[in-house]
Amino acid sequence: MKADLHEILSQYEIRSYGICDFRQISSFLPCRNQEQIPEEAKSVIVCAFPYYTGEYPQANVCKYAMVPDYHYVVRRLLNQACAALSEAFSAQFVGFSDVSALPERECALASGLGFQGVNGLVIHPQYGTFFVIGEIVTDYLFPFDQPLSQTCLHCGSCVRRCPSGAIAQTGIDYSRCLSAITQQKGELSPQEQELMQKNGLIWGCDCCQNCCPHNQNLPITHLSAFSEDVVPIVNEENLSSLMKTRAFGYKGKKLLRRNLEIINRKPK
Ligand code: B12
């Protein structure tokens, strides 16, 4: 049974996954495709989609935003895998990624896909933190995997390198997270603008990931949809076309232009 699952998933470039018990999920996120979850859901196949494509010191967007929008890439692979799985197992299989009612990090930890980092992210033994999570929810009962016993090194590097001091060994203050600030609509405070200027990114933030010892010497992603189309610098010339293909597109051009204007402004 698991051999069939493995074979089908690998046909759709899914090389790493773990399975957890749907009924053990602690809570769901509101208004995120909850109605699409199979009524008698039993198992969640939690999959890792690595997006590491190398280092780009001049980049002005974070790593996941340099590559084509993972929502589309992952959804396409998951939908294809779900169609094949439904046929093979005569059950319901539905794929989600990010826009999902499931707390994806909790599922990834429970399924043994990775272990929890102080930086708030799930660390995969091969991919580090540079992978996105996609999951398949099914009413088929698969045997569950165990959480990993490995733990983050607790070296404190992410705590020290977080530009806004949002990370502590004990938890994260997401209201201060620079990734959240770059995505915030409306006018940013002078302190928030200064933070953005110092970091030089107009979308997202990778500070707590770049410095992580679990992210050193990572392999380049096997997903060609990511590795073959990397745009590390967003500017006025390419902005319009990138709005259609990158994960920041849904926020609208106005927000990205505002951020470009902030980082290009000379610091006082
Ligand atoms: C909203 C959101 C954000 C918000 C943060 C809000 C927040 N509170 O997390 C903002 C905009 C700041 C953000 C930023 C980023 N995000 Co985000 N985000 C999400 C989103 C959509 C929902 C997160 C959420 O609210 N979860 C609710 C909490 C309660 O559940 P949880 O996420 O599973 O996590 C907690 C529990 O698992 C709990 N926990 C731990 N152990 C255990 C054990 C048990 C038994 C239980 C019950 C619970 C538990 O601790 C976890 C951490 O707090 C998820 C996608 C999703 N649907 O889950 C992506 C997601 C978490 N983000 C992701 C990414 C990549 C990022 C960024 C790296 C992007 C970037 N480069 O800028 C940053 C990283 C910031 C950081 N250091 O954490 C990835 C993480 C992948 C990974 N390897 O871990 C996700 C999973 C999207 C995806 N599909 O891959 N994000």
What pLDDT, on the 0 to 100 scale, is given for residue 113? 98
From the CA of 136, how far away is ligand 1's center (Å)? 18
pLDDT at 40 over 90: yes
pLDDT in tens, 87-111: 999 999 999 999 999 999 999 999 9
Pocket test residue of 34, 75, 104, 158 for ligand 1, highest count of atoms within 8 A of CB: 104
Q: Whose CA is nearest to atom 12 of ligand 1?
A: 180
Whether 144 contacts 134, CB under 8 Å:
no
Question: What's the rounded mean pLDDT across residues 174-179?
Answer: 97
Q: Which of 249, 259, 245, 253 is nearest to 67 (CA)?
A: 245
What pLDDT, on the 0 to 100 scale, is given for residue 236? 95
How does strand 122-123 pair with strand 115-116?
A: antiparallel
pLDDT in tens, 187-199: 999 999 999 999 9
What tokens does 219 get? Answer: 């392999």
With a Cβ cut-off of 6 Å, ligand 1 is lined by 26, 29, 62, 64, 97-98, 100, 103-106, 109, 116, 119-122, 129, 131-133, 172, 174, 177, 179-180, 183, 204-206, 208
Query: Is 240 exposed, middle or buried, given 0-12, 13-18 or 19+ CB atoms closer than 10 A?
Result: exposed
What pLDDT, on the 0 to 100 scale, is given for residue 268? 60
H/E element, 168: strand 167-168
Query: Is 219 exposed, middle or buried, given 0-12, 13-18 or 19+ CB atoms closer than 10 A?
Result: exposed
pLDDT at 253 over 80: yes
Could you give the 3-state DSSP secondary structure of residue 29? coil
| Residues facing 45 on adjacent strands | 19, 136
What pLDDT, on the 0 to 100 scale, is given for residue 265? 87
